[in-house]
């Protein structure tokens, strides 16, 4: 068993009053691929480095396979890391790079060669074993770094943004390979990234962290369909969720000079601190163009359109009671404009005013005072 457990783990760097990671409680199940995701500076790499033994734990403890490793040396933790910058020895061949850790550990040469050849076959690197890193592409170098981790047969893989140096197309290809490889090997894996698309496509579960505090942990579909707070709602998904704050009057949200009916049980949860306001979120694909007579729709000034062939996107601003644009959107793509996905064959003209209807079953409603989910 190689279950990883963080128990009330806190890391405060010298000279700082605010913890970089604050009271983290997180379990990575045996054989699970867990992706830790968040914006730059949120504490995700610090979390990984504490698990690796490269950062001190100020409070709490870390367990690997039921054993407390909090104060254990990195070399004794039976983990293998894959870094962003590959960290290959330029003067060594691919085979020597992959087997170097085993050589240092005193593993017999025959066993090293057998393990390296097995890993190379898995990673499609067999024909490159006698090459130096400078003769490889970025994707091949990253696979060599993966191979170096695989040959050690560790209890836990730690991956720190391993794809960020690759171009977009290669990144898509390599993330598919890494996810398939992890499932083939069944090694418990903690994968750190700031790219939520990587998180959604690779992980068995995703843990979202913000300013050192864990926000939500769950399967990709769970975080996408039911974010627990405004931060997770805005962070997960591309294009990001449309999120805006509106007044509530008589059980309806006032959007511009239109009104949308809210569920009564949600309105009843609003408190005095919410000041008769509500935060409404909806994903671009969960809204559609509405007719002039359709109820529960609002007007949108179209400022830009995108025809991607398979999809069409409208970007615009909500129209208020005076006919001007209402600056209500607090988090969205394209300079805080509201984004709606439509049939690319039915894109409106830039400058037009359209009516938008949100699927009421796909609406995300949050309390302004706490930014926590209400529905």
Residue 125 in any domain: the answer is yes
The residue out of 234, 263, 292 marking a domain boundary is: 234
Compute the mean pLDDT over every residue in the chain, rounded to the nearest whole number.
89
Residue-level pLDDT at 330: 46
Which has the closest alpha carbon to 214: 222, 203, 204, 206?
206
Of 145-149, 245-249, 258-262, 350-354, the one with minimum mean pLDDT is 145-149
On whether both 252 and 224 belong to a single domain, the answer is: no
338-356 pLDDT per residue, tens: 999 999 998 999 999 999 9
Minimum mean pLDDT range among 138-142, 165-169, 221-225: 165-169
Identify the weakest region by mean pLDDT among 37-41, 134-138, 206-210, 215-219. Answer: 134-138
Same domain, 206 and 161: yes
CATH for 169: 3.40.50.300
Does residue 333 have a pLDDT over 50?
no
For the chain, what percent of residues have pLDDT higher than 90? 65
62-76, 125-139, 197-211, 353-367, range with the lowest pLDDT: 125-139
> What is the CATH number for 336?
2.40.50.140
Residue 1: the pLDDT is 60
Q: Which of 189, 204, 234 is the last residue of a domain?
A: 234
Is the domain of 101 the same as that of 193?
Answer: yes
Domain boundary among 179, 205, 234: 234
Q: Residue 329's pLDDT is what?
A: 46
In a domain, 80, yes or no: yes
Token pair in block for residue 360: 């009421």
What are 11-16's contacts with CB under 8 Å, separation 24+?
11/43, 11/46, 11/47, 11/50, 11/55, 11/56, 11/57, 11/58, 11/212, 12/58
Do 78 and 132 fall within a single domain? yes
Q: Of residues 363 and 326, which shows the higher confidence score?
A: 363
Q: Tell me the mean pLDDT in the region 78-87.
A: 84
Do the domain assignments include residue 162? yes
Q: How much is the average pLDDT of 316-330?
A: 61
Do 190 and 66 lie in a common domain?
yes
Q: Does residue 374 fall inside a structural domain?
A: no
| Pair 225, 248 in one domain | no
Q: What is the mean pLDDT of residues 287-315?
A: 92
Q: Are residues 265 and 230 in the same domain?
A: no
Tell me: do 174 and 40 sit in the same domain.
yes
Residue 156 domain-assigned (yes or no): yes
Query: Is there a single domain that holds both residue 207 and residue 298?
Result: no
Q: Check whether 228 has a pLDDT greater than 50.
A: yes
Structural domain that includes position 281: 240-366
221 and 133 in a common domain: yes
Q: What is the pTM of this model?
A: 0.88
Number of domains in the chain: 2
Determine, yes or no, domain membership for 373.
no
> Are residues 338 and 218 both part of a single domain?
no
Q: What is the pLDDT of residues 19-29, one digit of tens each?
A: 999 999 999 99
Same domain, 173 and 28: yes
Inside any domain, residue 12: yes
User: What does the pLDDT look like over 89-143, one tens digit per residue?
Assistant: 899 999 999 999 888 888 899 999 999 998 888 888 899 999 998 998 888 888 8
Residue 138 has a pLDDT of 83
Quick one: pLDDT band at residue 328, thresholds 50, 70, 90? very low
Q: Is residue 371, in this structure, part of any structural domain at all?
A: no
């Amino acid at each position: 068993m190689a279950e990883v457990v963080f128990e009330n783990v806190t890391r405060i760097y010298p000279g700082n009053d605010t913890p970089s990671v604050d009271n983290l409680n997180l379990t990575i199940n045996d054989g699970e691929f867990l992706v830790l995701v968040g914006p730059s500076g949120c504490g995700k790499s610090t979390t990984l480095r504490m698990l690796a033994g490269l950062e001190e734990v100020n409070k709490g403890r870390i367990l690997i396979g039921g054993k407390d490793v909090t104060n254990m040396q990195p070399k004794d933790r039976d983990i293998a890391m894959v870094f962003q910058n590959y960290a290959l020895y330029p003067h060594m061949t691919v085979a020597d790079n992959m087997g170097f850790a085993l050589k240092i550990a005193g593993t017999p040469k025959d066993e090293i060669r057998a393990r390296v050849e097995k890993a190379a076959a898995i990673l499609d690197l067999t024909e490159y074993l006698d090459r130096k890193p400078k003769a490889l592409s970025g994707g091949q170098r990253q696979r060599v770094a993966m191979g170096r981790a695989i040959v050690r047969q560790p209890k836990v893989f730690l991956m720190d943004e391993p794809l960020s140096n690759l171009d977009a197309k290669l990144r898509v290809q390599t993330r598919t390979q890494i996810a398939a490889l992890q499932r083939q090997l069944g090694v418990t894996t903690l994968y750190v990234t700031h790219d939520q698309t990587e998180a959604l496509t690779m992980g068995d579960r995703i843990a979202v962290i913000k300013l050192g505090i864990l926000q939500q942990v769950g399967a990709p579909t769970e975080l996408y369909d039911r974010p627990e707070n405004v931060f997770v709602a805005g962070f997960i998904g591309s294009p990001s969720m449309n999120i805006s704050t509106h007044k509530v009057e008589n059980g309806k949200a006032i959007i511009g000079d239109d009104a949308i009916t809210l569920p009564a049980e949600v309105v009843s949860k609003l408190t005095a601190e919410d000041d008769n306001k509500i935060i409404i979120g909806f994903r671009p694909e969960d809204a559609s163009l509405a007719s002039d007579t359709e109820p529960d729709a609002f007007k949108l000034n179209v400022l830009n359109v995108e025809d991607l062939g398979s999809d069409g996107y409208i970007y615009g601003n909500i129209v208020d009671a005076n006919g001007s644009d209402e600056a209500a959107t607090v988090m969205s793509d394209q300079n805080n404009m509201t984004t709606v996905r439509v049939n690319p064959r039915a894109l409106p003209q830039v400058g037009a005013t359209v009516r938008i209807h949100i699927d009421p079953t796909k609406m995300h409603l949050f309390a302004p005072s706490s930014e926590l989910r209400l529905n």
